[in-house]
Structure 1
C-alpha cells in the first residue's frame, strides 16, 4: 500500500453515563475527519482511548469505522496489547472486517528484549495478511525501539512495511531515512514536530488535530510537498500552540472538549481520564477561535 498524507484519528464517543459507545456520534466524528481531507482514518489509537475499551467495545469500534468509512479512504486499526495472543486476535479481526492495515505497537509490563519484540511482530504478521505499520511510542507503550531494530523487522517480516515514529526525536527520522536509503516510509506521530518531520522526508503525519481544525494539517502537508516553504512555516506556527496543547492536555480529553466547544458532544473521556477543567477549556476556545 502506498500510503501518504494526513492520517486522522477519531476519538471514541461515549454515552452520558460513560458505559457505552455512541456509534451515531462516532460516525459524525469520522465525517468531520473526512471533511478535513484526511488521507486515511486510524481507529483505536490513544486518541480513541483503545486502552480503556473492553474487547467487545474494541471490536464494535473497529467494525463500525470500516463500515462507515466505506472505502472512501484506507482504514488503519491500532493494536497495542500486552499479550501476543490478544494482538493476534485483534489483527485477525481487523482483516476479517475489511480494514486495510494495522498499526502495531508492543505494549509492556515487563521490559521486553528485542528478541521478544521481534517474536511479537512476527507472530502477528503470520496470523494476518494485513500490512503492518511498526509503531514506536514509548511514552504510552513502555517500549522504545531503535531505528535500526525497526528497519531490521521491515527487512525480515514481509508484511511490516512502514514505521510510525513518535518519540519526538527528529534524529530518529533521519536515521530511518539514511539507514534505509530512503526506501522505508516513515510517519510522524509527534504533533509539534510536524514541520521538521515532513521536511525530513516523512511520508505523512498521524494526528487527531483535523477533528478540531479542519484541513489545516492537510494544507501544511501539501505546502511542504509542493516546496512552498514559507507558506508551510506560516501554517505550522499558526497551529503550533494548539498542537502542543492537545498533546500535553491528553488527546482524548482535549479533542472531546474541543468538539463540545464546537457544538458536537462526544462525551467525556473514560475514567481515570478527566475532561479539561474550565481554565483549560477557555484556553482551548481561544486557540480554536484563532484557527477558525
Structure 2
C-alpha cells in the first residue's frame, strides 16, 4: 500500500456522564480530519489514548473507525503491546475488521534486545497480511530502535514496509534515507520537526494537529513537496509554537481542550491523564485564535 502525506490522528472522546467512549463525538473528530483533507487516518495511537482503553473499548474504537471512514482514506490501526501474543491478537483483529495497515511500536517493561524485537515483529507479520509501519517512539515505549535495525526488519520481514520515526533526532531520518537510497518510506512523528523531516525526505507527517488547525499541516506538506521553500518556512513557523505546545502539554489533553475551545466539547482525557490547567487552556485558546485567523 502506498501511503503518503498527512496521516491524521483522532483522539478518543469520552462521555462526561459515564466515562464511556462517545462514538457520536468520535464521528465528529473523524469528520474534522476529513475537512482537513488528511491522506490517511491512524486510530489508537498515543493521541487516541489507546493505552487507557479496555480490550472491548479498543476493539470498538478500531471497528467504528474503519466502518465510519468507509474506505474514503486508508485506516491505520496502532498496536503497542507488552506481549507478542496480545500484539498478534490485535493485528489479527485489525485485519478482520478491514483496516488497511497496522502501526506497531514495541512497548516494554524489560529492555528488549534486537533479536527479541525482530521476533516480535516477525510474529505479528506472520499473523496477518496487513502492511506494517515500524514505529520508533522511545519516549513513550522505552525502546529506541536504530535506523539500521529498522531497515534490517523492513528488508527481512515480510509486510514491514515503512517506518515512523519519533525519536526527535533528525539525523535518524537522514540515515534512513541515505541507507535505503531513498527507497524505504519513512514518516515524521515529531510535530515540531515537521519542516526538517519533510525536507529530509519523509513521505509524510503523522499528526493530531489537523484536529484543531485544519488544512494548515496539509498546506505545509504540499509546499515542501512542490519546492516552495519560502512558503514552507512561513507556514511552519506560523504553526511551530502550537505544534510544540500540544506535544509538551500532552496530545490527548491539548487536542480535547482545543475541541472545547472551538465549540465541540468531547470530554477530557482518561485518568491518570489530567485536563489542561486553566492557564494552559488560555494559552491554547490564544494560539488557535491566531492560527485560525490565518485561514
Q: TM-score range by the shorter chain?
A: over 0.9
1:262 paired residue number = 262
Q: Secondary structure at the match of 1:68?
A: helix
Q: Report how far residue 81 of structure 1 moved.
A: 0.3
* Mapping of residues 115-194 of structure 1, within 5 Å: 115-194=115-194
Q: Report how far residue 158 of structure 1 moved.
A: 1.3
2:11 paired residue number = 11
**For the residues of structure 2 that align with 1:110 and 1:266, how far apart are their CA atoms?**
36
**For the residues of structure 2 that align with 1:20 and 1:96, how far apart are their CA atoms?**
24
**For the residues of structure 2 that align with 1:19 and 1:269, how far apart are their CA atoms?**
10
2:110 paired residue number = 110
Q: Secondary structure at the match of 1:81?
A: coil
* Mapping of residues 1-292 of structure 1, within 5 Å: 1-17=1-17, 19-292=19-292
Ranges in structure 2 where 5+ consecutive residues have no aligned partner: none
Give the structure-2-normalised TM-score: 0.98
Q: Secondary structure at the match of 2:80?
A: strand
Runs of 4+ aligned structure 1 residues displaced above 2 Å come to none
Q: Secondary structure at the match of 2:164?
A: strand
Q: Report how far residue 18 of structure 1 moved.
A: 5.4
Instruction: After superposition, give the CA deviation of every residue in 1:173-227 in whole Å (9 maximum; x if it has no partner).
Output: 0000011111100000000000000000000000000000000000000000001
Instruction: After superposition, give the CA deviation of every residue in 1:85-118 in whole Å (9 maximum; x if it has no partner).
Output: 0000000000000000000000000010100000
**For the residues of structure 2 that align with 1:62 and 1:51, how far apart are their CA atoms?**
13
Give the structure-1-normalised TM-score: 0.99
Aligned-residue CA RMSD (Å): 0.6
Ranges in structure 1 where 5+ consecutive residues have no aligned partner: none
Q: Report how far residue 47 of structure 1 moved.
A: 0.3
Q: Report how far residue 266 of structure 1 moved.
A: 1.1
Does the aligned pair in 2 maintain the 1:18–1:270 contact within 8 Å? Answer: no
**For the residues of structure 2 that align with 1:69 and 1:247, how far apart are their CA atoms?**
26
Does the aligned pair in 2 maintain the 1:223–1:231 contact within 8 Å? Answer: yes
Q: How many residues align?
A: 292
**For the residues of structure 1 that align with 2:244 and 2:228, how far apart are their CA atoms?**
23
